[in-house]
Chains A and B, each alone.
Chain A
């Protein structure tokens, strides 16, 4: 979700544009925080299984880093494909 969709709202009066823009900002913030929480939950569940120590073991830390990176790359790719489909772009099967 980004402000590029505001291009469609160009014909709106300024105050309405501001209101939509503020709405999108709020949604973005809420979404970012949600993403943060869900990423932590996912990577914790997938990478941490033993509680012999309080601190993260090297292997667990590596796992969490990979998990987060992988999910973010995945999320970007999904975003690209989603945008293509939204625009009605036909793609190969």
Chain B
């Protein structure tokens, strides 16, 4: 892609395509994160509809650790992923 000229129609399509893939990736990441941490932190007995303090802490830590793992794997895979 030439730095000085405006992006061609083809370049634009590529950019939109990549942007869409990036957004889909983020949505999937969020969904997997949500399901994973629910499975790890919340018992499936559902004695009540509120989250208790223990569950809240677990969720916060789980999200944080999941985030760290995501970054770590990203590093290990090289710059295959677009920067967050």
Interface residues of A (CB under 8 A from B): 1, 16, 19-20, 23-24, 27, 31, 34-35, 38, 46-47, 63, 65-67, 69-71, 73-75, 77-79, 81-82, 85-86, 91
What are 22 residue pairs bridging A and B, where the CB atoms are less than 8 Å apart in the complex? A1-B26, A1-B27, A24-B23, A35-B31, A38-B35, A46-B44, A69-B49, A70-B51, A73-B49, A73-B51, A74-B37, A74-B38, A74-B41, A74-B42, A75-B34, A77-B56, A78-B30, A78-B34, A78-B37, A78-B59, A78-B63, A81-B60
Tell me whether A85 and B64 are in contact (CB under 8 A). yes
Chain B residue contacts of A85, Cβ below 8 A = 63-64, 67
**What is the size, in residues, of chain B's interface with A at 8 Å between Cβ atoms?**
32
Interface residues of B (CB under 8 A from A): 12, 16, 19-20, 23-24, 26-27, 30-31, 33-35, 37-38, 41-42, 44, 46-51, 55-56, 59-60, 63-64, 67, 84
Query: B18 to nearest A CB, angstroms?
Result: 12
